[in-house]
Amino acid sequence: MTTPSLLILPGDGIGPEVMAEVRRVIDWYGDKRGLKFDVSEDLVGGAAYDVHGTPLHDDTMAKAQEVDAVLLGAVGGPKYDVLDFSVKPERGLLRLRKEMDLFANLRPAQCFDALADFSSLKKDVVAGLDIMIVRELTSGIYFGEPRGIFTEGNERVGINTQRYTESEIDRVARNAFELAMKRGRKLCSMEKANVMESGILWREVVTKVGEDYPEVELSHMYADAGAMQLCRWPKQFDVIVTDNLFGDLLSDAAAMLTGSLGMLPSASLGAPMENGRPKAMYEPVHGSAPDIAGQGKANPIACILSFAMALRYSFDQGAEADRLEAAINAVLEKGVRTADLLGEEGVTPVSTAGMGDAILAALDESL
């Protein structure tokens, strides 16, 4: 079998720092578990703009299409706020998602026991929380036409269009049902069928796909009520499937339930490639955090957990993903904390690399 290939795109802000720790974890798997990866690195976002004048060079796009998985750090920063919309760092990320056709975005919200106190919600509401949001990622209002700022009479009008085809809804729904089958067999679909035609179609198609998964308990919720229920009693959910924009909002809310955005990974998956692996990109849910960039303060856990998702979803190494997640859990149980996770008295934060050291030590102990 050929060595699986990984393209690493550290990006901007804290991206390079957290990705450096991921690379140490990747090396650990090569040395200690015989899991070798063919790793290459390239630029994305503002870092790519600085060198090439575009947030994603065509050569990088082509490489991303060829590798078995892409790992992305984060994009964006205040330095790039003044750029034209078409070359903003975020456009690089959106181009990767669109051209690789990564239509299913998996965003787990999992509360580590050691961190249950960090949530803004009561401990018993979040302790043990383990839900998965499946966000449609390549269509809907993010990409629908017409879009733009136009002139109508003597004023301007800003337009974006929510648009979903049956097949786009069908494929992301199937993905969510498959996941639900491997988890708690419960799926809640969220839209606004009460006010949006695209929501009516969404509900119809998801219901139809559900006929192929009789073991999965399917429910529907209006997305606003879903947001409320996520804050009220998140443990009622197992898998949630929703559109691009609602998924963007609901996943940020769900992330915060767990206490720290610095903890959450994500996987963006497309159709299977010739070798059977899905096209895939893995990235932390957090952004580039320019306020702390370059200071060694960032929490690398979300990015390392994104690699764990790669092990599970791209490389069929579920047991090794479990090992990595258990190592992170052990480190947190020991009280090792980066600055974003402080709260307890008398705990001194470790640096980004310090957290990496602790995770590598826990991995060694797992052998």
In the list Mg ion, ligand IPM, none, the entry touching 83 (Cβ below 5 to 8 angstroms by class) is none
Binding mask 72-91 for ligand IPM (x = CB under 6 A): ------------------x-
Q: For every residue of 114-158, which 3-state class applies, written as one string?
A: HHHHHCCCCHHHHCCCEEEEEEECCCHHHCEEEEEEEEECCEEEE
274 phi/psi in degrees, rounded to 5: -60, -35
Catalytically annotated residue among 27, 101, 130, 248: 248
Q: Which residue has the tokens 């078995």?
A: 68
Q: Which residues contact 180 (CB under 8 A, 6 or more apart)?
A: 186, 187, 213, 216, 238, 239
Active site residue 252: yes
Q: How far apart are CA 292 and CA 186, in angstroms?
A: 39
Q: Which of 228, 227, 266 is nearest to 250 (CA)?
A: 227
Would residue 68 show up in a list of annotated catalytic residues for this protein?
A: no
Spatial separation of the C-alpha atoms in residues 268 and 9, rounded to whole Å: 15
Size, binding site for Mg ion by CB under 5 A: 1
Minimum distance, C-beta of residue 73 to ligand IPM, in the bound complex (Å): 12
Chain residues 246-285 in contact with Mg ion, contact rule CB under 5 A: 248
| Residue 338 near residue 355 (C-beta atoms within 8 A) | yes
Q: Shortest distance, CB of residue 266 to ligand IPM, whole angstroms? A: 7
Q: Which of residues 238-277 bind ligand IPM (CB under 6 A)?
A: 248
170 makes contact, choosing from Mg ion, ligand IPM, none, with CB < 5 to 8 Å by partner type, with none
Among ligand IPM, Mg ion, none, partner that 7 touches (CB below 5 to 8 angstroms by kind): none
| Adjacent-strand bridge partners of 41 | 8
Neighbours of 184 (CB within 10 A): 15
Residue pair 77/290 in contact (Cβ under 8 Å)? The answer is yes
Q: Based on CB atoms, which residue is closest to Mg ion, 94 or 181? A: 94
Contact in structure between 146 and 161 (CB atoms under 8 Å): yes
Provide the CA 52 distance to its chain's centre, in angstroms.
26
Exposed, middle or buried, 175 (CB in 10 Å: 0-12/13-18/19+)? Answer: buried
Of 12, 42, 80, 192, the active-site residue reads: 192
In whole angstroms, the minimum distance from the beta carbon of 89 to ligand IPM comes to 8
- Whole-number Å distance between alpha carbons of 101 and 65: 10
142 catalytic? Reply is: yes
Helix axes 197-210, 166-182, angle to 10 degrees: 50
Contact between 99 and ligand IPM per CB under 6 A: no
Nearer to ligand IPM, 87 or 94 (CB): 94
The CB-of-18 to ligand IPM minimum distance in angstroms stands at 16
Please identify the residue of the shown chain whose CB is closest to the bound Mg ion: 248
**Residue count, binding to ligand IPM (CB under 6 A):** 4
Binding-residue pattern over the window 189 to 218 for ligand IPM, x denoting contact by CB under 6 A:
------------------------------
Catalytic annotation, pick one of 49, 142, 213, 222:
142
**Span 35-64, contacts to ligand IPM by CB under 6 A:** none
Closest listed residue to residue 131, CA positions, set 256, 281, 3: 256
Query: Residue 4 or 265: which CB sits closer to ligand IPM?
Result: 265
- Of 43, 47, 93, 280, which lies in the binding site for ligand IPM, with binding defined by CB under 6 A? 93
The entry of ligand IPM, Mg ion, none near residue 90 (CB within 5 to 8 angstroms by kind) is ligand IPM
| Minimum CB distance to Mg ion, residue 287 (Å) | 8
Q: Are strands 38-41 and 5-11 parallel, antiparallel or unpaired?
A: parallel
Residue among 258 and 317 whose Cβ is closer to Mg ion: 258
Which residues would be at the binding site for Mg ion (CB under 5 A)?
248
Residue positions annotated with a catalytic role: 142, 192, 224, 248, 252
Q: Summarize as ranges the residues that interact with ligand IPM (CB under 6 A).
A: 90, 93-94, 248
